[in-house]
Amino acid sequence: MLLLLSSHLKGQNSHWEVGVNGSYAAPNNFDMMEYACGAASVDVTWMSRQTGNDYWRLYKHYPAFGVRASFAYIPKAIYGHRLGVVGLVRAPMGKWIDYSLGVGLSTYTKARCFTGEEENIFISSAVSCLIDVGFNFRLGDDVLLNASLLHSSNGMLYKPNKGVNFLQLGVAVKLDNDYEKDLDWEHSRERIDSVLAFPDLEWSLAFSPAVVMSRDELMDGYYPCFDLALYMQHYVNPVFAYGGAIDLWFNGSDWNLLRRERNMYPLPLYLSAMGVMEFFWGNLSLKLGAGPVILSSTQMTTPFYERVGVYYNFGKKYLGAGINAHGGRIEFIEWTIGWRF
C-alpha cells in the first residue's frame, strides 16, 4: 500500500512535516493495565495533494495522501520501543480541523514480551499492524496540533497477541509549505459552481476471493474464502465519497471447524452492513469501512466488522487488495475485482 500511495509524485504539490508527541501506552486488555506507561515519539511525514482546475486547486476541500515514519521511546515497556510506517490519508472537516486515517506496519525492539504467563503476550510477532486515527487542528498554515489513537497488534494472525494502544497528543511543523499559503480558503466557495459536474451517486459490486489457514491447531492446510459486497456511495467531490455496503462473506476454515465439532453442518455465511469512505488519488483509491455483523452461523465475541483496501481504477472496473477483519481480528487478505454502475 505504501508503494502505491507514493507512486504518484509527478504533478503534485507536497510538503514535509516534523512532529513530536507524548502518549499514554496501554495494553489492549483491562486485566493487564499494570503494564501501562508513558511514551514519547517523533515522526516525519510527507503529504501530497493533487492540482488541476480551480476546484482542484482549492485543495482544502480535498483529502491529501502521504507516508509517515515514526519512532516511539517507551522507557518502561517490556516490549521495547516502537518503529512504525503508515500510509496516511487526511481530509478536512472545516477551515481549521482535519481528520486523518493511517494503516501500516510496526516493529518493536523486544517483540516477544511475556508478562509472567505464556498466554499474556502483548506483541508476539516481529512485524505487526499499526492503525492511526486522529484529528489535526491547524494553527495558521505551518503548525498542527494533533490528537490521535494508535493501535498496534498483528490482528491475531499469530497468537496470543493482546496488542497495545497509544493515546497521543502532539504538535507538528510543516516544511516547504509555500504553495499552501497562496491558496484562498475564504473565497473558495464562490468558485465551486463553475466546476464541471461529478457523479453524485454510484453503486458498485465487488467480488473478493481468498485463501486462509485455520487458527485451530488440529486443522492443517488452506481453506477457501470469499466476500461479495454491494456498495452505494455519495460523492462529496471528485476525490472523496462516502456511503454504505452490504457484505456476504464465507470462511472455509470455520466451516470445517463446525463439521468437526457439531452434528449439524451449517454453512458459515456472514452478513454484515458497514459505513464506507473512499478516497481517490489519480487511478488509485483507498476504501475504509466498519460496521456490525448482522447474521453469523458461529459465535462472535465482538460482532463488529472492518475492511481496509487499496484499489486501482480503470474505467468502470477496479482491482485491488484488502484486509477483511472482525473485532480487530484479521479473517483473511482478499483480492478484489469490482464494477461501478
CATH number of the domain within which 63 lies: 2.40.160.20
Domain membership flag for residue 194: no
Total domains in the chain come to: 2
pLDDT at 31 > cutoff 60: yes
**Chain mean pLDDT for the chain:** 80
pLDDT at 24 > cutoff 60: yes
340 phi and psi, to 5 degrees?
-95, 140
pLDDT at 230 > cutoff 80: yes
- List, for residues 115-140, the tens digit of each pLDDT value: 666 666 777 778 888 989 999 998 87
Tell me, what amino acid is at 122? F
Domain membership flag for residue 195: no
- Supply the CATH number for residue 311's domain: 2.40.160
Domain membership flag for residue 196: no
Q: pLDDT at position 1, please?
A: 37
Domain membership flag for residue 158: yes
Given 140, 155, 189, which residue is the final one in a domain?
A: 189
Given 189, 209, 230, which residue is the final one in a domain?
A: 189
Least confident segment among 30-34, 212-216, 267-271, 329-333: 212-216
Domain membership flag for residue 139: yes
Please check whether residues 183 and 265 belong to one and the same domain. Answer: no
Residues 6+ apart with CB under 8 A from 184: 58
- List, for residues 81-95, the tens digit of each pLDDT value: 999 999 998 887 777
Please check whether residues 182 and 276 belong to one and the same domain. Answer: no
Domain membership flag for residue 331: yes
Please check whether residues 99 and 211 belong to one and the same domain. Answer: no
Please check whether residues 115 and 236 belong to one and the same domain. Answer: no
Rounded CA separation 141/211 (Å):
47
Please check whether residues 160 and 271 belong to one and the same domain. Answer: no
Please check whether residues 164 and 291 belong to one and the same domain. Answer: no
Please check whether residues 219 and 303 belong to one and the same domain. Answer: yes
Please check whether residues 128 and 222 belong to one and the same domain. Answer: no
Q: pLDDT at position 114, please?
A: 66
What are the distances in angstroms from CA 85 to CA 3, 10, 26, 240, 325?
A: 12, 22, 20, 24, 21
Cα-based torsion angle of the residue sequence 253, 121, 330, 42 in order, rounded to the nearest 10 degrees: -160
Domain membership flag for residue 54: yes
Q: pLDDT at position 11, please?
A: 42
Q: Which residue has the cell 487478505?
A: 333
Please check whether residues 177 and 245 belong to one and the same domain. Answer: no
Q: Bigger pLDDT: 245 or 53?
A: 245
What are the distances in angstroms from CA 15 to CA 29, 114, 326?
A: 38, 41, 35
- List, for residues 155-202, the tens digit of each pLDDT value: 666 666 778 899 999 999 998 776 565 555 555 555 555 555 556 789
Whether the predicted model's global pTM rises above the 0.85 cut: no
Given 167, 189, 211, which residue is the final one in a domain?
A: 189
Q: pLDDT at position 183, please?
A: 55
Please check whether residues 229 and 305 belong to one and the same domain. Answer: yes
Rounded CA separation 335/235 (Å):
25
Q: pLDDT at position 125, please?
A: 78
Please check whether residues 156 and 206 belong to one and the same domain. Answer: no
- List, for residues 312-324, the tens digit of each pLDDT value: 999 889 999 988 8
- Residue 230's closest CA among 242, 244, 246, 250? 246
Domain membership flag for residue 12: yes
Domain boundaries, position 184: 2-189
pLDDT at 7 > cutoff 50: no
Please check whether residues 56 and 185 belong to one and the same domain. Answer: yes
